[in-house]
């Protein structure tokens, strides 16, 4: 059998069944390069949440257990344009070392002589983390010479960065041309769970969607509607649907350019559950007075900034009756304290549900994490944009290159 190929994953999962995984992947004595997603939020030199770092640990441990000589980690952080000290991965090496309970060596370059030497000199069982890939513009250009330079750091390649797999970048796509390649445990789990949500959710299936832009999320809303028993929509996402139904929303954020498409594709669907009341204010910063009102009573100078208590209760009731729940997107301007009540209420409802719950989104996962509810969520996706693209049915370039057809 060709190395790392044709490993069956799970029979009924369509594309997941052809994904090359690390089961049967030869790693004995090899330096295995692992693309991870350590794109965490760092505020004032502190890692705000280490959830993505923790998520990479099972693959690192498995590769070591299977005799990898060294595990060589590559990641991006943020969107630097050249070197930026505040986006160095150095503090992440320290955090990973603590979580793993063993040393992690940080290497200040991810390509070039210094990087090659560090990888060649790695001692048996070493874990190395190389500097931010995006300090090199060639990474995002999927430059073949850069991909080949990265490939020189190892003998085999594993992609465990689901959150970066919607990008055709050198460390995700280009590198697979140079090394035997497979999907890590986290990537496989993401594909399995999200394929289930997308293709054959347990029923009753309830989805809760919020956040900012309906232009991003309309493909998923439209895809979910025929499969759900209810689709609860909050946040600014709901505003555009409500306006399409003729409700006056004052100064609230609405995507007017989307009104026609929203009307045509989803606005009249009886399975949509939309806000019936709201938390409103003239001041979206949260500094001014705030009031609750019925959704039809928003004044012309007010913004809808959260779902109201009646809506929270209706959404929670729908969630409660489900066997599978999917949630993406805050219910309001939840990063501002006076407007996070609705989002917290959804986090509790999802955590308390008897259902298998799947929660994801760049802005969404922090709420269950901050509330200490992560253990009561079936699966927290590490993907933001990648998860949304996967659920809307788009092939992700970083996954496509790991599929044997
Ligand atoms: P995710 O990254 O989890 O998919 P989004 O990026 O779509 O979520 O949405 C998060 C953003 O949506 C936040 O910045 C939040 O402030 C904004 N948002 C949600 N509801 C509202 C609202 N009613 N008014 C203004 N902004 C909102
Ligand atoms: Mg976001």
pLDDT for the residue numbered 45: 78
Would you call 213 a catalytic residue per the annotation?
Answer: yes
What is the rounded (10 degree) CA torsion for 266, 218, 209, 395? 130
Which residues line ligand 1 at a C-beta cut-off of 6 Å? 210-212, 235-236, 253, 304-305, 328-330, 332-333, 335, 361-364, 384
Q: Are 237 and 353 in contact (CB under 8 A)?
A: no
Q: Ligand 1: which of 239, 283, 333 to mutate, judged by most atoms within 8 Å of the beta carbon?
A: 333
Torsion-angle region of residue 6: left (phi > 0), alpha (psi -120 to 50) or beta?
A: left
Share of the chain above pLDDT 90, in %: 92
- Whole-model pTM: value is 0.94
pLDDT tens digits, residue range 230-282?
A: 999 999 999 999 999 999 999 999 999 999 999 999 999 999 999 999 999 99
Ligand nearest to the CA of 210: 1
Does residue 6 carry a pLDDT above 70? no
Retrieve residue 84's tokens. Answer: 């930026």
Give the number of the ligand closest to the Cα of residue 383: 1
Active site residue 393: no
Q: How confident is the model at residue 46 (pLDDT cuts 50, 70, 90)?
A: confident
Q: Ligand 1 centroid vs 248 CA: distance in angstroms?
A: 20
Please tell me which residue in 234, 332, 360, 362 is annotated as part of the active site. Answer: 362
Pocket test residue of 166, 207, 212 for ligand 1, highest count of atoms within 8 A of CB: 212
Ligand 1: which atom is nearest the Cα of residue 252? 24
- Which tokens hold the place of 376? 């009561």
Ligand 1 atom with minimal separation from the 216 CA: 7
Atom of ligand 1 nearest to the CA of 213: 7
b/e code 242-264 from CB counts within 10 Å (16+ = b): bbbeebebbbbbbbeebbebbee
CB atoms within 10 A of CB 117: 12
Does the structure show a pLDDT above 70 at 124? yes
Taking the centre of ligand 2 as the mean of its atom positions, its distance from the CA of residue 372, in whole angstroms, is 21
| Ligand with minimal distance to 220 CA | 1
pLDDT band at 3 (very low <50, low <70, confident <90, very high): very low
pLDDT at 42: 83
Q: Atom 17 of ligand 1 has which residue's CA nearest to it?
A: 212
pLDDT of 396 strictly over 60:
yes
Measure 348 CA to ligand 2 centroid, in angstroms.
Answer: 20
Assess whether 385 carries a catalytic annotation: yes
* Catalytic residue of the set 20, 30, 31, 52: 52
Distances (CA, A) of 203 to 313, 316, 324, 356, 392: 21, 17, 6, 11, 19
Out of 1-10, 121-130, 142-151, least confident range:
1-10
Nearest-CA residue for ligand 1 atom 4 is 361
Going from the C-alpha of 209 to that of each of 182, 232, 294, the distances in angstroms are 32, 6, 20
Tell me the pLDDT tens digit for each residue of 172-204.
Answer: 999 999 999 999 999 999 999 999 999 999 999
Q: Copy the structure tokens of residue 54.
A: 């923790």
**184 carries an active-site annotation:** no
- The tens digit of pLDDT for each residue in 349-391 reads 999 999 999 999 999 999 999 999 999 999 999 999 999 999 9
- The reported pLDDT for the residue numbered 17 is 55
The catalytic residue among 213, 223, 227, 376 is: 213
The alpha carbon of 198 and the centre of ligand 1 are apart by a number of angstroms equal to: 23
CA distance 173 to 25: 18
């Amino acid at each position: 059998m060709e190395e790392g190929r044709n490993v069956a994953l799970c029979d009924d999962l369509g594309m997941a069944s052809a994904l090359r995984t690390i089961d049967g992947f030869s790693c004995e004595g090899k330096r295995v390069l692992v693309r991870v997603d350590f794109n965490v939020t760092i505020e004032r030199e502190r890692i705000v949440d280490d959830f993505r770092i923790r998520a990479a640990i099972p693959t690192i441990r498995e590769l070591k257990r299977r005799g990898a000589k060294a595990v060589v980690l590559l990641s991006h952080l943020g969107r630097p344009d050249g070197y930026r000290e505040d986006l160095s991965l150095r503090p992440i090496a320290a955090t990973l070392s603590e979580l793993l309970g063993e040393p992690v060596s940080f290497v200040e370059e991810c390509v070039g002589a210094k990087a090659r030497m560090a990888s060649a000199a790695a001692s048996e069982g070493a874990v190395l983390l190389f500097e931010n890939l995006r300090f090199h513009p060639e990474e995002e250009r999927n430059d073949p010479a850069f991909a080949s330079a990265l490939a020189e750091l190892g003998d085999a390649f594993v992609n465990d960065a689901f959150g970066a797999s919607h990008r055709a970048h050198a460390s995700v796509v280009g590198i697979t041309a140079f090394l035997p390649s497979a999907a890590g445990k986290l990537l496989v789990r993401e594909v399995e769970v999200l394929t289930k949500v997308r293709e054959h959710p347990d029923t009753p299936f309830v989805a809760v969607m919020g956040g900012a832009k309906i232009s991003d999320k309309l493909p998923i809303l439209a895809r979910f509607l025929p499969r759900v028993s209810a689709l609860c929509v909050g946040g600014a996402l709901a505003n555009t649907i409500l306006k399409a139904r003729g409700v006056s929303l004052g100064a609230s954020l609405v995507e007017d350019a989307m009104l026609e498409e929203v009307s045509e594709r989803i606005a009249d669907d009886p399975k949509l559950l939309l806000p019936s009341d709201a938390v409103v204010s003239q001041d979206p910063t949260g500094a001014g007075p705030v009031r609750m009102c019925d959704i039809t009573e928003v004044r012309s100078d007010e913004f809808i900034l959260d779902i109201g208590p009646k809506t929270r209760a209706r959404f929670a009731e729908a969630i409660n009756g489900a066997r599978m729940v999917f949630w993406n997107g805050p219910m309001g301007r939840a990063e501002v304290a006076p407007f996070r009540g609705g989002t917290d209420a959804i986090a509790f409802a999802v955590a308390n549900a008897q259902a298998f719950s799947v929660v994801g989104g760049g802005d969404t996962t922090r709420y269950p994490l901050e509330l200490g509810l992560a253990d009561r969520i079936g699966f927290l996706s590490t993907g933001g944009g990648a998860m949304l693209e996967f659920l809307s049915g788009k092939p992700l370039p970083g996954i496509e290159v790991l599929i044997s057809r």
